[in-house]
Amino acid sequence: MTTHRTEQVSVDAMIEDLRVLVETESPSRDVEALTASAKVVASVIESRLGGQAVLVESEAGPHVHWSGGAEPRVLVLGHHDTVFPLGTLERRPFLVQDGHVTGPGVFDMLGGLVQAVHGLASLEDRSGVEILVTADEEVGSRSSRALIEERALACGAVLVLEGAADGGALKTGRKGCGTFQVSIAGRASHAGLEPAAGVNALVEAAHQVLDITALGRPEIGTTVTPTVASAGTLDNVVPAGATVIVDVRVESDAEKERVESAFAALAPHLDEAEISVEGGLGRPPMPESAAAELFAVAQRLLPGIEGKAVGGGSDGNFTAALGVPTLDGLGAVGGGAHADHEYVVIEAMAERANLVASLVTELQRR
């Protein structure tokens, strides 16, 4: 089987559907905007594939679920929330020029969603196929994780529509990732009259940042990166409180356990300072073994395609951790995720749509 069936998908139609999705802004945590977005996503799916796309309500906003009927065999997984606030579209409108499509969310990951829908539309038989498009992937998938895991186990194979790795490579492994918030409680005092009467939470935070950074083991893929800090109220007051937010990425379950234990054991350096820790590694690592079977199929379908392990997480981390074969990075070829220069390469859109369709056909035969 070849994936080069470009005559069966219309790039112009894909671009037009992508325009509709991008121009319905969908920032994470904005339930009203995500509700409007979910309805548009459902409309696009129904118009191309028929049937009914069901809105699954959640506190984060509606997830969209569609089924081709019959025994489930493959879950096509994506999300419709984006990282960009309302109003971004006015500053950075949807554009098609110089072989690229640009606009908020085109690469992460509305382009991949459109490609998959059009790829599936080229198939006469869509039985056994499910599509799940969630509303909270960019903020940890707390409301959708159980549903993702349920459908992944039911289907037995997962194709994730996140954007491709550099050069169009598929994503065959991902680090586990999460965020910790370290809060320091000190005691305020006058910075000029009696600074020693206070307990300086900012100074304690500085000690903690050094301790936290030392937890990283980049030589084995563990990165521990303080990213946001805040402390104090006025320039003449010893700070009574401080917070430090930390991004953590790991490649193994053993490192996940080590880092989480280390955060739980953080101890203050200053007398009377108190420390509390929230958060954790919410996404488990996605080992390359989880993608091996499906990646081999993809290589046969599209000779020369490469696979890469990457540092970012996706909902594929959850499905891989269950032991469900999972292949990621099947979405758009492009770059600039979460950045103003985000783009999709138009020339690659038809090939990626056909790759998804061909993988689905292979999985239907099992």
Which CATH number do you get for residue 116?
3.40.630.10
Mean pLDDT for 133-162 is: 98
pTM higher than 0.85 for the full model?
yes
Distance (Å, whole) CA 81 – CA 138: 7
Domain final position from 283, 316, 334: 283
Mean pLDDT for 104-117 is: 98
155 and 184 in one domain?
no
210 and 251 in one domain?
yes
Q: Residue 366: its pLDDT value, please?
A: 82
Domain span holding position 232: 176-283
Q: Is the pLDDT of residue 7 over 80?
A: no
Catalytic residue from among 17, 136, 137, 328: 137
| Positions of E strands within the chain | 54-56, 63-67, 74-79, 95-97, 100-102, 129-134, 158-160, 170-174, 176-185, 223-231, 241-250, 274-283, 307-310, 326-327, 334-335, 343-345
pLDDT digits (tens, 9 = 90+) for 15-58: 999 999 999 999 999 999 999 999 999 999 999 999 999 999 99
- What domain count does the chain have? 2
In which element (H, E) is residue 205 found? helix 201-213
113 and 12 in one domain?
yes
Task: Answer yes or no: are the C-beta atoms of 344 and 108 closer than 8 Å.
Answer: no
Q: Is the pLDDT of residue 5 over 90?
A: no
Q: Residue 8: its pLDDT value, please?
A: 81
Cα separations in angstroms, 338 against 14, 48, 265, 353: 22, 28, 33, 23
Helix axes 111-121 and 349-364, enclosed angle (nearest 10)? 60
Determine, yes or no, domain membership for 96: yes
Strand partners, 326: 158
Catalytic residue from among 17, 81, 204, 315: 81
Secondary structure class of 204 (helix, strand, coil): helix
342 and 214 in one domain?
no
Distance (Å, whole) CA 238 – CA 201: 8
206 and 235 in one domain?
yes
pLDDT digits (tens, 9 = 90+) for 76-102: 999 999 999 999 999 999 999 999 999
Determine, yes or no, domain membership for 356: yes
303 and 154 in one domain?
yes
Preceding peptide of 286 cis, ω within 30°: no
151 and 252 in one domain?
no
- Edge-to-edge strands of the sheet including 343-345? 95-97, 100-102, 343-345, 334-335
- Residue type at 346? I
Q: Residue 86: its pLDDT value, please?
A: 97
Distance (Å, whole) CA 131 – CA 159: 10
Determine, yes or no, domain membership for 1: no
137 catalytic residue (yes or no) = yes
81 catalytic residue (yes or no) = yes
pLDDT digits (tens, 9 = 90+) for 261-314: 999 999 999 999 999 999 999 999 999 999 999 999 999 999 999 999 999 999
Q: Locate all alpha helices (DSSP H) within 25-71, ordered by sequence.
A: 31-49
Residue the block writes with tokens 């909270």 = 136
Mean pLDDT for 166-189 is: 97
228 and 303 in one domain?
no
Q: Residue 160: its pLDDT value, please?
A: 98
- Residue type at 139? V
151 and 51 in one domain?
yes
Q: Residue 77: its pLDDT value, please?
A: 98
CA angle 268, 272, 277 (to 5 degrees): 45
Which CATH number do you get for residue 254?
3.30.70.360
Determine, yes or no, domain membership for 236: yes
